[in-house]
Structures are given as structure tokens and as C-alpha cells.
Amino acid sequence: MVVSLRLPSLSSLFLPSVSRRSPAVLRRHHHHILRTPVFAASFSAQTTVSETDDRVDTQKSNRVQDQAVTPRSKDFNAWYLDVIEQAELADYGPVRGTMVIRPYGYAIWEAIQDYLNVKFKETGHSNMYFPQFIPYSFIEKEASHVEGFSPELAVVTIGGGKELEEKLVVRPTSETIVNHMFTQWIHSYRDLPLMVNQWANVTRWEMRTKPFVRTLEFLWQEGHTAHATPEEAEKEAIQMIDVYTKFAYEQTAIPVIAGRKSKVETFAGAVKTYTIEAMMGDRKALQAGTSHNLGQNFSRAFGTQFTDESGLRQHVWQTSWAVSTRFVGGIIMTHGDDTGLMLPPKIAPIQVVIIPIWKKDDDRAVVLNAASSVKEALHAAGIKVKLDDSDQRTPGWKFNFWEMKGVPLRIEIGPRDVSSQSVVVSRRDVPGKQGKVFGISMEPSVLEAYIKDKLDEIQSSLLEKAKSFRDSNIVDVSSYDELKVAISHGKWARGPWSAGDKEELRVKEETGATIRCFPFEQPRGIKSCLMTGNPAEEVAIFAKSY
């Protein structure tokens, strides 16, 4: 019964072209996998589910053997899907392209929420909630908005058993319903600025989906603001892309490049779109957050007006900005390695895992006792710590498992450590002996300080590593030929650009790359457009993207 209900695996669901190892194949590869460097921990990885247990729980022991992921260096996409599955971040939903976010993946999203929610409030925004059903007619009011979103809509046509008079769109984004409400709340300049945010689910009927990166339904926050002047709206749009940039660098250790989208890539209905672009481990770009200056496009379409100080009726100036569960995908693809996930300490659901080690039964109690004390001490210090005291796995199995899950630090405690009142600490981001330090005192204040220091060090180190990876993969180009070479080598191309939409689309057709942004950080002086040779005031970054 269970087997017959199981749907295709993540890979086959999201990218049917990727060939997928069957469980049988996986079992055959088991011993091979254990011998690869991926699983070369200090202890040989063995399941404690013995042969005699197979009858009882075949599926469980298969899953145990399952834990190796395709090395990232071998097949980035297969690696990504393996990590999501093996680290239990997400699973496929029953409807094509939908995703179930599992507790470990959801905890990363909660860390994102916790940080941003505070920042949004600090910058004067209030949370609220708009209904997700939007009358179809609303979507049609703003011309470019309907053009952008109508191919992606999910539409409710039946409610309470009856055909509906007006079809309802399941929100793909909320600018239309927000403006409908704003017309009722905004009367005079005294009602401005109006600055709100909602945490919500949105639906876009995407054809090519990929867990976290692009799913039919996803979770996000969408900020919506209305202002009395275009200057205030612009300032707000910039402020929020700055909040996102700081978040990306400081919390997720992703060195995004912030900038302005080209006209072609601007949000459907916006005047300007600001973006943060992140370089993934396969050097493709991921648009990780956007902030739109909507000008008066929606306020004119919906009649969102206010009476200014001189008594005149004016349309409000607006912004909207969003970050979604896609960010989780960005974290996976920025920091992960052949072994699996690697989480920046500041957003890791588990920052430290403690693995107790014993061979003789006599040692068990004494080791577990010490491990518990260490756990309590770190927990009391505000560190997210897990003690894996399960009897069912060997220490080696646990090492591999928690490395694959990307936990930044591992503490090992064996009988000899207990005798010397010390522990062994291993860094996830520095493989092998180099990342392992022996003899760290168990004394709570010493250990706590050491661990906090190491977590900070890992956080910085991940950012630095991602920065140098990014910088070594951006090529400055001054001609279209150079751009083509850079893109064909899988790199990002940065070069002066003042050509039109037509030329931009030509680049996309011929190279697969799009303008990711005109970065805020610009070299000085007027340059020549790489495509036309005309004067160009700005450089643009071109890259293939998700």
C-alpha cells in the first residue's frame, strides 16, 4: 500500500530529464559510496541496523544507506536535489511542481523570517494580511502587470459547489488587492506613508520548477508602501534592497551584488526594480530578492489618491519588495560541497551537534552524562545545540549524517575526553584533520567562548570564500566577443552597456545570458558600450541564471 502510493522522486518530478538511481542501484553502490572520500570520516560509516533487522525495517535501512549525495563536482543539479532529499529539507507535493517544506528546511526559513521581521518593524512597517483570492478583473487593471502574470495564474472557478460569477485568481503577488484596499484607507497626506508587509503563500503556475528555486506555490514576504512623493518612494525602495543586501551578507554569508534591473527585466508594473543577485556554486545567478519602485502605475490604475497639503488630489507613489523561500535554495547552492549542505552558523537550525562515543557499555553512562552537561551549558548560552545520543547509529554514521546536513560544528566526546575534561571540536567547513581541534576544555565558560568564537569564524570564512569564488568568476569585458567567451566559460561578464532592449534580447538568444543588474558599485567615468561602441555610463552584469 505504502509503496503503491509513493510518487516519483524529487529529481524525476522536477526535472524529468535527470536519470535517477533506483533504490536497487543505490544498494548496489553502497559499499562503493562508503569508500569514497566523501564519507571518509574518522570512523568508518556503518549502519547499526544489523542484517537481522532487515526483515523488520527494510525501508529504514535503505534510507540509511541512502545518505550519500551525488558529489557536487560531478553533477550540480543531481547534487542539489540529493541534498534537499537526504538532508530532509523538502519533499515533492502531490501536485506537480509543489513542494513540502520539511522541518529542517522550514527552520532555515524561520531564521530568515526572524531576522527580516525585526528589520521590517525597525524600519516602520506593520504586518497585516490580505486575502489570497483576487477578482480576475483586478489583474487586468494594470497593463504590464496582466501581461506579466496572466500566463502563470491559478484560477478558482468553483466555490461551495457552484460555478462562480467572477473567476478568482490565487494571488501571484498582491499589488492589485493592496491598491484596492489602499484606496479605502488613504485619504490625506496625513495617512502617508502607509507601510505594510505580509508573510504569505503565493502561486505562480511555473512550467519548469525546482525545489525552493521555483515552485508552483512558495512562501514569501511582500512589503507594500505608499508615499506622498516620488523621492520618498525611491528612498524606500533603496532602503529595502539595502536591508536585503545586509541580510544576505551578514546572515546568510552570500555576497550578493545589488543593483538595478534593465528595463527588460523590470517587474511587471514597476518603474524601477532593484535586485540582489547571488552567484551559485555552478556560477549561475540567482535573483535572491527584489525591491520595486512602482511609481504611480498601480495608483493610477486603481485610483489610489490622497489630498496633499495644498488641497490637491494626487496619486500616491508606491513600492513593493519581496524575499521568498527561494533564499533557502540560494543558501544551499552557495555554500554546499561534495559532502552535502554547509550552513552559515547564523541561519543554521543546529549550530553544534554533539556526538558521544563509547565502545564498552561501562563507558556509556559516563560519556552520555558528560555530553548532556555540555549540551545544557551550550544551550544555556543561547547556542543551538543537538545531542545525537541515539543507540542505533555508530559515531561514524552520525559524523557523515550531520556533515551532510551542514551543521557548522561537531563536538566529539569519548571516555578519554571525559577523563581529561575536554572535547574534540570539528569544523564542517574545514575537512579532515585540519578542521579538528583536540583538548578544548569542557569548562562551560571556556567552551562557550570557544564555540561562539568558532561560529563567528566560520560565518566570516564562508562569506570570504563565497566572495573570492564570486570575484574569480566575474570577467570584465569590453566587447560582445569577450562577453560571449566569458559566458561560454560559465562566468559572469561585466561590461559597459548602453544598447537597447533589442540588443539585450539578442544577447539572451545567442548566449543564454541576461542582464542581471547594473550594479550600484560602478567604475568611474564614461566607457564605450560593449555592443554598440556608443558612450555608456554604466556597466551591466550578464550571466545565465535560475
Residue (of 242, 312, 323) closest to 287 by Cα position: 323
The nearest distance, CB 59 to a copy of itself, in angstroms, is 4
The nearest distance, CB 345 to a copy of itself, in angstroms, is 20
On the 0-12 / 13-18 / 19+ scale of CB atoms within 10 A, 390 is exposed
The nearest distance, CB 237 to a copy of itself, in angstroms, is 21
The nearest distance, CB 197 to a copy of itself, in angstroms, is 10
Sign for the pseudo-dihedral over CA of 301, 240, 206, 541:
positive
The nearest distance, CB 138 to a copy of itself, in angstroms, is 7
The nearest distance, CB 107 to a copy of itself, in angstroms, is 7
Smaller CB distance to a copy of itself: residue 114 or 362? 114
Q: What Cα–Cα distance (Å) separates residue 462 from each residue in 252, 326, 501?
A: 9, 20, 37
Smaller CB distance to a copy of itself: residue 209 or 251? 209
Dist. CA 141–CA 177, nearest whole Å: 11
Smaller CB distance to a copy of itself: residue 60 or 246? 60
Smaller CB distance to a copy of itself: residue 10 or 442? 10
Smaller CB distance to a copy of itself: residue 125 or 261? 125
The nearest distance, CB 124 to a copy of itself, in angstroms, is 11
Residue 503 per-residue DSSP state? H
User: How is 54-116 classified by DSSP, letter by letter?
Assistant: TTT-HHHHHHHHTT----TTT-HHHHHHHHHHHTTSEEE-SSTT-EEE-HHHHHHHHHHHHHH
Query: Using a CB cutoff of 8 Å and minimum separation of 24, what contacts does 503-507 make?
Result: 503/531, 503/532, 504/262, 504/264, 505/264, 507/480, 507/483, 507/531, 507/542
Smaller CB distance to a copy of itself: residue 310 or 472? 310
Smaller CB distance to a copy of itself: residue 258 or 316? 316
Dist. CA 376–CA 153, nearest whole Å: 50
Q: What is the 3-state secondary structure (H, E, C) of 452-494?
A: HHHHHHHHHHHHHHHHHHHHCCEEECCCHHHHHHHHHCCCEEE
Smaller CB distance to a copy of itself: residue 110 or 476? 110
The nearest distance, CB 485 to a copy of itself, in angstroms, is 37
Query: Using a CB cutoff of 8 Å and minimum separation of 24, what contacts does 229-234 make?
Result: 229/317, 230/295, 230/317, 232/193, 232/317, 233/293, 233/294, 233/295, 233/317, 233/318, 233/319, 234/272, 234/293
Dist. CA 155–CA 151, nearest whole Å: 11
Smaller CB distance to a copy of itself: residue 15 or 154? 154
The nearest distance, CB 228 to a copy of itself, in angstroms, is 13
